[in-house]
Structure 1
């Protein structure tokens, strides 16, 4: 499988998000967009940023040990490389490139929804894409679609090694948790952002389409990565 930014078209639809902690659910309309076939790999991340932050090493392994701020900076850098309009304005660090060092204020990150560049998916987009028209906890038998604590041998795995969902997206569950754009619960957790998908070390109950996790946007964790999205239209008009 190529490590280029292969993007999959995701149709518009609706998704009902649920939060186990608060027992709250809410319905969201999702516009058509594109989503990367697999999480950003270490090779992709190094090609764009010149950095290799992961604790495990392999070109086709998902990049991990990247913060939410690292991920949004990657999106902007990739957009610039491809001549696209960056999706994010990061006022706290003056659009500095490279790793977040913990001194940026994620509250100062703004999303320009009119931009055609790369960005993180919203959690509604992520769950809609993960489900790919299915309604159960997963889009297939867990061992066939995901690397998790029961079959992952305690380590991260190359992208694309498990069966894709019906829309051609790999590793939506398992392998690495994925950063989303959204705040988790700002009234309780402030700037903490949403993580989705479950990881290589997680029990089966965490690898479900509806499970939400949270982390501070400056934290770097060895089972957390991300994949990129783009809004429609996919490119600027000629």
Structure 2
């Protein structure tokens, strides 16, 4: 009988001890959760917190928990650096924290825009021009761009001459051709220890190697995105304001010509004169922006010319005292198998690696693809790159906005991927 009593007593003691240990452990975990929540880490135990940090570190986000990931991304996004963690920014080939003085970082994105043009319409016996607005999609990778147009002071310091008609150290350099602009980009790249983007063959034709880190002219899509204010855009009619006079020199006064740079308000990204002052050379022989009107007698009738989407074709060898340029840099674009990439323009997916092959579909700008195979190298539209066999990823659309089947494979030109 005594033995049974002792046995029962020991069992009750063990149960009580177990309950106390379990309770203590529960209290400890509750205390950890409360302390971590107060520290801004989330309602996690120390073990759960370390698991999150390990997973995020392996993903390249830094040794931080999920709550810290969201906090860093929000802070960097608000600072104009993009929605990235500090570790992601530090790992970027083009670090937005290390932008040279006089330039700004522009985060990449797939964006929509309206492009205005005129179409001739037959009315009776005469043709009349009708304004047409077309909705389009473009995509750009992150880049840095000059806050101002290249000044005469900078141009002369690199090239040893100043072709401008209207002289002034802080005025934009002008009266120079597209060729002059790309030559300046290469010269500045060499001075800064960078690999030039452009090369010229024996026939005088220039090509752009995207797997370089040098200075260059912006593409139309980059220039437009920067002029719109990038991810900070407020949808202004002009670059930085709905009032053209706030941000643009809308008329020339007397014989003074183009004005000193950065004498009007900047846009949302801190970039000056993208509506107004001189027009600017871009890649593929177009120039953007510029004064609203040269004719002082018809300012009010021509203010639409300063819209940030106004683009004009021109010839590479031409020069004008109202045409200058600004420069950009981006991370080198390398193509490799199994790499995820994005279409930077509406891009044809073909049955083989040739422009003469059948078109399977036209992928909308921003379409995500996976590289399956590298093909032959070719120069198309002045860009040196490889043909690549790709697999279309989820949520893809064609040029008309219709869904593309996930997994569709075909060939496209890699020069328009990033």
Q: TM-score, normalised by structure 2?
A: 0.47
Matched with 2:212 is 115
Matching residue within 304, 318, 322 for 1:223: 322
Conserved 8 A contact 2:246-2:265: yes
Equivalenced residue count is 205
Matched with 1:101 is none
Flag the structure with larger Rg: 2
Q: Does 1:131 align with 2:231?
A: no
1:40-65, Cα deviation, whole Å (9 max, x unpaired): 00000000000110001110000000
Aligned-partner Cα distance in 1 for 2:266–2:189: 26
Could you say which structure has the greater relative contact order, defined with CA pairs below 8 angstroms and 6 or more residues apart? Answer: 1
Listed as ranges, the matches of 1:1-238 within 5 Å are 6-13=102-109, 14-16=111-113, 18-21=115-118, 23=132, 25-92=135-202, 104=204, 108-132=205-229, 133-138=233-238, 139-140=240-241, 141-149=243-251, 152-154=252-254, 155-182=257-284, 193-199=285-291, 201-202=293-294, 203-232=302-331
Conserved 8 A contact 2:175-2:323: yes
- Please state whether the residue corresponding to 2:218 is helix, strand or coil: coil
Matched with 2:11 is none
Give the CA RMSD over aligned residues.
Answer: 1.9
1:56-102, Cα deviation, whole Å (9 max, x unpaired): 11100000001011000000000001110001012147xxxxxxxxx
Structure with bigger helix share is 2
How far is the alpha carbon of 1:114 from its aligned partner?
1.2
Runs of 5+ unmatched residues, structure 1? 94-103, 183-192, 234-238
Matched with 1:189 is none
Q: TM-score, normalised by structure 1?
A: 0.80
How far is the alpha carbon of 1:205 from its aligned partner?
1.4
Structure with bigger strand share is 2
Aligned-partner Cα distance in 2 for 1:112–1:146: 34
